[in-house]
Structure 1
Amino acid sequence: MSSHAANASGSGPLACDVLVVGGGINGCGIARDLAGRGWRVLLAEADDFASHTSSSSTKLIHGGLRYLEYYEFSLVRKALQEREVLLKSAPHIMWPLRFVMPHDPTMRPAWLIRLGIFLYDHLARREVLPGSRGIDLTTHATGAPLKPEFTRGFVYSDGWVDDARLVVLNAVDARAKGATLLTRTRVTRAERHDSHWLATLQREDGHEQQVTAKALVNAAGPWAESFLRGTALPARGEALATKSLRLVKGSHIVVPRCFAHDHAYIFQNPDKRIIFAIPYERDFTLIGTTDVELHGDPAGARISGDETAYLCEQASRYFRRPVRPADVVWSYAGVRPLLEDDSGDPSAVTRDYLLEANAGGGLGAPLLSVWGGKITTFRKLAEDAADEVGQMLGERRPAWTRSAFLPGGDLSAWIGKAQKPDTDFERLVHAVGARHPWLPTVLVRRLSRAYGGRLGELLGQAQSLEDLGAEVAPGLYEAELEFLRRTEWALTGDDVLWRRSKLGLHYTPAERARVGAWMDRAATQATAAETLAP
């Protein structure tokens, strides 16, 4: 049976404690937390994990420096507290990143920026990340790519995350703790009864399966409101949707590398917004994001020509070498499901989350809806959600994720005791190279980044590149593709090239096609094997 359909073919209804709808970062994080507390969890995702918002972020673990201007001190503090918790939990897919803000006297005054980054440094305790300081851009390496009028700047710390891999690692951990996770499986109907939910799940091939759950968690992201208004059916006619989402599209562009150093930039714009320019995938620079109100189906969100022009124009205000639309090699757009708060400016809509419990008072089986949120606070959101579910089910169980590793985050088998996340990763790279000297240096680093402490599971007993099977595309061998199919729900070329990795950026169309064809053949062979199985 294929991984995405496992445990979904029985004749009677499946029974679980909690049904989670949505396989983005919040849904997978909640499933992981609940499963770790011993509840029977089933998660259903209509597409692949992180197919939408959770793979379309700016890929930062950050407090949100600009939110201080909107007096979002509670949100910023919460996010700042989470940064180092996350960095320690998965140093292979998250790492510290230094940001440079060139000072533009026509924007915010220097004293205001100094005050802001002082607060940013001190709103939460730091053990790993260095503090902020002023720099002379005429002598500092980060000043070289900038126009000469930018002579001074400020440096502060945040973190970077491979967002789509963060989602799938939460899913991997949830499964390891007993959860059942189904991709390409849509919840088409969810009926609320007094003691349980009865849901109908439909796979891509049309097969349907019913599920009973003591509680339901609505973590459908941009579709959370429409799920309550259309798919979920109340027990007695009460309105399930009491909140409204404001859908805000954020788009990004990727261009050839604009600078050679390892810092990122945060640029202030005349419209009072900011954009980031971030080192990306070794050879590129990621620039974003926009804030555009979206009306219509979030699945259809695409970057517009105006957004591309805006990002190029704002980056070109700072860089000596202009960024032009013709330079863009890839772009993506995600939809932020923000809780409607009547803000006129989409940039001012709160990024904080709200967990809405709907239970008791004769309403029927418990329902928890997740509204809003940002990737940095996903672990805390999941912890709060699991606490809430436990309260609704009448059984509180202790939280556990704050000090836990994500899969691959424990590097001790390779390097011994952990020290600092960034230096620990470099020690891992050295250890992998020493243990497997036949691996090319570039491949050692890429595989270490992707799999961390799990790398031994992928390599197995391999003693040479030939042992990894055919090289389907440059640096991508059959053993890795099979590992992604077997352990990370990857079924298509896009799953591998754009979510489990960003290898699609580095490959030609012909190379991408070869990966897609290999995955299609493997899926066909797996289906045939299931059909022949007794």
Structure 2
Amino acid sequence: MRDAFDLLVVGGGINGCGIARDAAGRGLSVLLVEKGDLGGATSSASSKLIHGGLRYLEHWEFRLVREALAEREVMLRIAPHVARPMRFVLPHRPEMRPRWMIRAGLFLYDHLARRVSLPGAEAIATRTHPYGAPLKPEITAAFAYSDCWVDDARLVVLNAKDAARRGAEIAVRTAFLGATPEAGAWTCRLRAADGAERTVRARAIANAGGPWALRVLEAAGAPARCTLRLVRGSHIVLPALYEGEQAYILQNDDGRVVFVIPYEGRFSLVGTTDVPHEGDPGAAACSAEEAAYLCAAVSRQFRRQIDPAEVVWSYAGVRPLYDDGARDPSAVTRDYVLSLDRGGENGPPLLNVYGGKLTTYRRLSEEALAKLAPPLGFSAARPWTATAPLPGGDLGAAGLSGFEAAQVRRYPWLPPETLRRLCRAYGTEMDALLAGASGMAALGRDFGAGLTERELDWLRREEWARRAEDVLWRRSKLGLHLAPAARAAVAAWFGEASQAAVAGKAEPAGV
């Protein structure tokens, strides 16, 4: 085990894993540490969207929207197994934003960045178009436009996997205790889950602690040069509210928007809220008030009236937004700020990541490496991550549909739902997972919903899964499909005495 690195990345969320991947691909020696699980906090508690942020146009954030829109095409190119196009329906209510404003916003949305694979916006008559079926009869007009859905937790893991294949060390369940600048580098103290401590040297630190970024600064003895607004975004999962693959973006009476998204085949995902969060970000949970708010937002425009008692699962993540002084949490910028500090006068570099969103993580990572290039003495002139597929993403010209058809012929013994899930979780790595198997019996114990012992072993060996919740609620969402006894059996397979993971209880990721 080496004890000296070019770069120590603190935080295993999407930004930390993206920075580690980009740095390793440029030939830097990289160590990433994460106190909990990869993507165990904010990065797996999102709305699962790669989107430009239509509502950000109202706040004049054109650069952020343009950058995010361009990233949709990049994600479809490098991760076509975990990202896919989705059509969004925006019902029009005369008492809300006027129709001319929506048309103008959608025109900008379609033209701010180059669109290759996504169809443009259109107006629809809800009384005759299938998209209008779930909506109340008094809603007679709507607009449809394109964005993308992504499996957020798997996107995090895929970036970590690619970083590791390019030489990075990924250390989960490893806490960052502190760092001291010494002789032009950082001496960093780490502690593993078993209590063992380790000291490493790093020429630079990238602070991607998310909601814990200021704690990382404190542990490194560095001053905080900004403040963060911690905003909780909660989501609820309901039995499917309608048929079809389209999503809905609902204008709420308070000016916010609420998404309703098809989820896991049998459910609808509804979110999100924007509530100031106090206390430990790792303890964030959807409150009864937030669940009622989301249900009311849907009931206001859907024919079906939603009761909070129908909620089958909920989750919440804390977004660490750069404090730009906005009074309304919904108006706080979703843009990111990168600050390069020094450990004392002429000391080693400490790069701090403030804010950001899932969609723009790859661009953020490129900019982070550009800032680190001068002090670390490497060239940032050749960005590479926009064209290199993430693990499993090399599906070929036929795309996901062609790949799935080929896998049906290759594995006729796999149940259709399981085959589809494996294709969309692992892409071309599915063949390595199933290597040598000619039937379900060869995959070991079946825990239900197609989750087998072979897959659990793969996730533990190849994807750093250490607990049942890592699998059931992040790398897959099979916790929604398994009975409590089956979830308990998965926990037992991991040797867990605690049953917290069985219920999908989130744990603090820390620093």
Identify whether the pair has TM-score above 0.5, normalized to the shorter chain.
Answer: yes
Q: Indicate the residue corresponding to 2:447 in structure 1.
A: 472
Confirm or deny that 1:210 pairs with 2:199.
yes
Asked if structure 2 preserves the Cα contact closer than 8 Å seen for 1:16 and 1:40, the reply is yes
Write the letter of the residue equivalent to 2:285: R
Once residues 224 and 127 of structure 2 are traced to their aligned partners in structure 1, the CA distance between those partners, rounded to angstroms, is 55
CA deviations over 1:71-123 (Å, ceiling 9, x no partner) = 11111011001110111111110000000001000001111100000000000
- Among residues 342, 358, 361, which one is paired with 1:359 in the alignment? 342
Q: Who is 2:180 aligned against? A: 191
Aligned match of 1:379: 362
Equivalent residue number for residue 451 of structure 1: 426
Question: Aligned-pair RMSD on alpha carbons?
Answer: 1.3
Taking the TM superposition and a 5 Å limit, the aligned residue runs for 1:68-83 are: 68-83=57-72
Give the structure-1-normalised TM-score.
Answer: 0.91
* Residues 32 and 173, structure 1, Cα contact 8 Å, conserved in 2: yes
1:403 aligns with 2:387: yes
2:486 corresponds to: 511
* SS of match in other structure, 1:29: helix
Q: Distance in 1 between matches of 2:296 and 2:39?
A: 30
> Which residue number corresponds to residue 281 of structure 2?
298
Alignment of 1:264-413 (within 5 A): 264-359=247-342, 362-397=345-380, 398-412=382-396
Q: Which of 170, 193, 213 matches 1:224?
A: 213
Give the Cα separation in 2 of the matches to 1:395 and 1:194. Answer: 20
Contact 1:256 1:329 in 2 (8 A): yes
Alignment check: 8 A CA contact 2:9 2:31 kept: yes
Runs (4+) of structure 1 moved beyond 4 Å? none
The answer to whether the aligner puts 1:149 opposite 2:138 as a matched pair is: yes
Indicate how the Cα distance of structure 1 residues 476 and 244 shifts in structure 2: closer, same or farther if over 3 A, else same. Answer: same
In structure 2, relative to structure 1, the CA distance for the partners of 1:96 and 1:476 (3 Å cut) is same
**Residue-by-residue CA offset, 1:232-273 (whole Å, 9 max, x unaligned):** 12xxxxx53111111000000000000011100000011110
* Deviation of 1:204 (Å): 1.2
Measure, in 1, the Cα distance between the counterparts of 2:289 and 2:83.
32
Counterpart CA distance in 2 for 1:192 and 1:301 is 34
Following superposition, the deviation at residue 521 of structure 1 comes to 7.5
Q: How does 1:60-209 map to 2 (within 5 A)?
A: 60-209=49-198
User: CA separation in 1, counterparts of 2:175 and 2:193?
Assistant: 8
Of the candidates 447, 459, 463, which is equivalent to residue 488 of structure 1? 463
Q: What whole-Å deviation, never above 9, does each CA across 1:9-58 have from its counterpart, x for those lacking one?
A: xxxx7111100000000000000000000000000000000110000000
> Could you tell which deviates more after superposition, 13-22 or 334-343?
13-22
Which residue, out of 238, 241, 258, partners 2:224? 241
C-alpha deviation, 1:391, in angstroms: 1.9
**Displacement of 1:142:** 1.2
Letter in 2 for 1:243: C
Paired with 2:8 and 2:99, the residues of 1 have a C-alpha distance of 50
Gaps of 5+ in 2: 498-511
Contact 1:257–1:283 at 8 Å: present in 2 too? yes
Partner of 2:500: none
Query: What is the number of equivalent residue pairs in this alignment?
Result: 496
Q: Work out whether residues 439 and 464 of structure 1, in 8 Å CA contact, stay in contact via their aligned partners in 2.
A: yes
TM-score (structure 2 length as normaliser) = 0.95
Give how far 1:474 is off: 3.3
Aligned equivalents of 2:183 and 2:62: distance in 1? 40
Cα separation, 2, equivalents of 1:226 and 1:489: 25
What is the SS of the residue equivalent to 2:494? helix
Contact between 1:248 and 1:294, CA under 8 Å: does it hold in 2? yes
Partner deviation per Cα, 1:288-344 (whole Å, 9 max, x = no partner) = 000001122111111111101100111100111111100100000000000011100
Is the 2:467–2:496 Cα contact (8 Å) retained in structure 1? no
SS at match of 2:5: strand
**Structure 1: distance between partners of 2:85 and 2:274:** 26
On the 8 A contact 1:351/1:373 being kept in 2, the answer is: yes
Task: Summarize the Cα distance change of 1:521–1:59 in structure 2 as closer, same or farther, 3 Å threshold.
Answer: closer
Q: Does the CA contact (< 8 Å) of 2:33 and 2:175 recur in 1?
A: yes
3-state DSSP class of the match of 1:471? coil
The share of aligned pairs that are identical, in percent, is 56
Task: Give yes or no for contact 1:194–1:362 (8 Å, CA) kept in 2.
Answer: no
Q: Decide whether the 8 Å contact of 1:19 with 1:216 is kept in 2.
A: yes
| In 1: Cα distance, 2:348 partner to 2:171 partner | 22
**5+ residue gaps in structure 1?**
1-6, 8-12, 234-238, 413-417, 523-534
1:227 positional shift: 1.6
Partner Cα distance (1:134, 1:391) in 2: 50
Deviation at residue 447 of structure 1 after TM alignment: 0.5
